[in-house]
Copies of this chain bind each other. A is one copy, B any other.
């Protein structure tokens, strides 16, 4: 332990892939904890689509952007290696927003101890942002009812895969939209989705009609893209759209338009966006809602682990290509 390697954001993306030149890799001194502080050695960090929002200059967003020159924001999990804080002991496992760096110094604010007997990858894949987001969006925004049909885009992604499994456990018919045949097979055969549609295949409208003969009651949107208006067209009266992500638009200078609001009137549709920072105060109840499904073995996951801090940069582009297989995690 000599220096703390960290990656700072120095330029904002302007569309297109994430490149090395947006960042600066630096060696920082390791500051020892003062009274009330702890030093954590981060072991795994999470890559999430929310990061595109954090890098963007839009100050109207739900969370301030990362300032240029600051260490890039991310959540992660690690071990306390020095403590001058009464609530933390050396060896404690801790989760929180520790950023793209090996060592994190803090006063405990915003950190949570991890006591679940699960490997780091499982904690970051299910109990961190993805599981909280899926639980809040599906239950509190979407208000699913047994027997309804839900369609989930980004269905093999970290959030979508949990949404679909929770909905299945609640007795809904669950259709997933994915970007490869391998992912389609995984969500149907391993996760128990009723059907999958590869959005890169042909005849999307016909596939949607085939798999949603009763129309669509709930649309959990993680991606955007050309299939969005086709899905929207099949939404039933009083349908609900939960808008969680639009990965297909994050790298575009001009985002694609949304569907006409004509059907919003005719079918009395509601479209509701949400982001987790509004709901951090609800984390205990969200975890209480989610945990029984996990304990009952109803929530499977898979992680796509990259090696080494610098892999974070190129790793973000996997969200655009969809080439990741499971929750993106960087092992430090």
**A residues adjacent to B (C-beta < 8 A):** 53, 58, 60-62, 221, 224, 237, 243-246, 249, 255-275, 278
**By the criterion CB–CB under 8 Å, are B237 and A268 in contact?**
no
Contacts beyond the supplied A258-B259, A268-B274, A270-B270: 11 A-B pairs with Cβ under 8 Å: A53-B266, A58-B266, A224-B261, A243-B265, A244-B265, A257-B257, A257-B260, A258-B258, A267-B273, A268-B272, A270-B273
In angstroms, how far is the closest chain B Cβ from the Cβ of A280?
Answer: 14
**By the criterion CB–CB under 8 Å, are A268 and B257 in contact?**
no
Chain A binding surface, main DSSP class = loop
**Chain B contacts of A60 at CB under 8 A?**
237, 266-267
In angstroms, how far is the closest chain B Cβ from the Cβ of A285?
Answer: 19
- Our pick among B58, B255, B261, B275 for the contact of A273 (Cβ within 8 Å) is B261
**By the criterion CB–CB under 8 Å, are A271 and B271 in contact?**
yes
**By the criterion CB–CB under 8 Å, are B278 and A273 in contact?**
no
Smallest CB-CB separation from A268: which chain B residue? B273
**By the criterion CB–CB under 8 Å, are B249 and A262 in contact?**
yes
State the copy count for this chain: 2
Complex CA gap A275/B269 in Å reads 11
In angstroms, how far is the closest chain B Cβ from the Cβ of A115?
Answer: 32
Complex CA gap A246/B266 in Å reads 11
**By the criterion CB–CB under 8 Å, are A246 and B273 in contact?**
no
**By the criterion CB–CB under 8 Å, are A275 and B271 in contact?**
no
**Chain B contacts of A61 at CB under 8 A?**
266
Q: Identify which of A53, A58, A265 gathers the most chain B CB atoms within 10 Å of its CB.
A: A265
- Our pick among B255, B264, B271, B278 for the contact of A262 (Cβ within 8 Å) is B255
Complex CA gap A81/B53 in Å reads 67
**Contacts A258-B261, A259-B257, A262-B246 given; does A272 touch B274 at CB 8 Å:** no
In angstroms, how far is the closest chain B Cβ from the Cβ of A52?
Answer: 11
**Chain B contacts of A259 at CB under 8 A?**
257-258
Complex CA gap A58/B270 in Å reads 20
**By the criterion CB–CB under 8 Å, are A268 and B62 in contact?**
yes
In angstroms, how far is the closest chain B Cβ from the Cβ of A267?
Answer: 7
